[in-house]
Amino acid sequence: MEHSKEVEKGWLQLKEHWEILPYPPTVSSTPAYSVLRMFLSPLLRPLLRWRVRGAGNIPRTGATILAANHLSHVDPIAVIAAARRTTHYLAKDGHFSKPMVRFLMNATGQIETQREKGGNEALASAATVLASGKALGIFPEGTRSKRTEEPFLLPGKTGVARLAAAYPEARVVPLAVRGSRQFMTPQEHKLPRLWRPLSVNAGVSVSWYSWLGHQSGGNHSFESLSALAGLEAHEIRAELSRLYRKFTDQLMGSLKALGAP
């Protein structure tokens, strides 16, 4: 889906209201990641009953947001395997407390965040990944679903939309993960059950720019965005909040349509 250059110009008029500056400014290199993938992938692939559909929808380069549903601790690994490229996740600082786990988290490019510092710090860390032209893994639900019956999918939080809006040329790819809870159920299975099937369905990607100008998306034009830029700050914030919510709800609808349970 292509975007209009006029819509792009209109959106940039509002930059002070949606900009998220990256911090830290760059993503740390992950030389150990390639080594781990080189040796572990050939060993694990014959043992796993994993299927990836729509892998061609995942860009191999450039700023990308991989948005998936979340049912198990294995979900980030499933997304990374489906992406076939280094994918960075935000992880709470508790995961970095043990030396071996810290090594694995750093080796695979995961970014330590401290929850007590709030959502803005996490968004700035996520922005670092996108500003560097890399792939960011994100769970729009904001947490792992603890529902015991379907539908497991929770309402999405608008952080994913704020990041897409702040890096409007980044591709947002919906990824429906199925079978991960049976593969490794939190608080029940200490080890993954490798014989259990798991699938990842990747949908068609969309950028904020293309969504913003589409009739079924943001439905904005250069004229409407210019008019919006001339309003009071609180009116601009209200419209941006509406757009973030609509984008997020449509993304969650895409996850459901792709088979997210």
The verdict on residue 61 lying in a domain is yes
- 153-178 pLDDT, tens digit per residue, is 999 999 999 999 999 999 999 999 99
CA distances from 89 to 45, 111, 127, 129, 206 (A): 22, 6, 11, 9, 20
Mean per-residue pLDDT of the chain: 89
Range of the domain at 97: 21-206
Query: Where residue 24 falls among pLDDT bands split at 50, 70, 90?
Result: confident
The verdict on residue 82 lying in a domain is yes
The verdict on residue 176 lying in a domain is yes
The verdict on residue 77 lying in a domain is yes
Number of domains in the chain: 1
Look up the CATH number of the domain holding residue 147.
3.40.1130.10
What is the percentage of the chain residues whose pLDDT exceeds 90?
64
The verdict on residue 218 lying in a domain is no
- 176-234 pLDDT, tens digit per residue, is 999 999 988 887 888 888 889 999 999 999 999 999 999 999 999 999 999 999 999 99
Question: Which long-range contacts link 144-148 to residues 24+ away (Cβ below 8 Å)?
Answer: 144/70, 144/71, 144/72, 144/73, 144/75, 144/186, 145/69, 145/70, 145/71
DSSP 156: P
pLDDT score of 157: 95
The verdict on residue 240 lying in a domain is no
pLDDT at 135 over 70: yes
pLDDT at 16 over 90: yes
The verdict on residue 233 lying in a domain is no
For residues 255 and 54, give the distance between their C-alpha atoms in angstroms, rounded to a whole number.
13
Q: Structure tokens of 143?
A: 């947490």
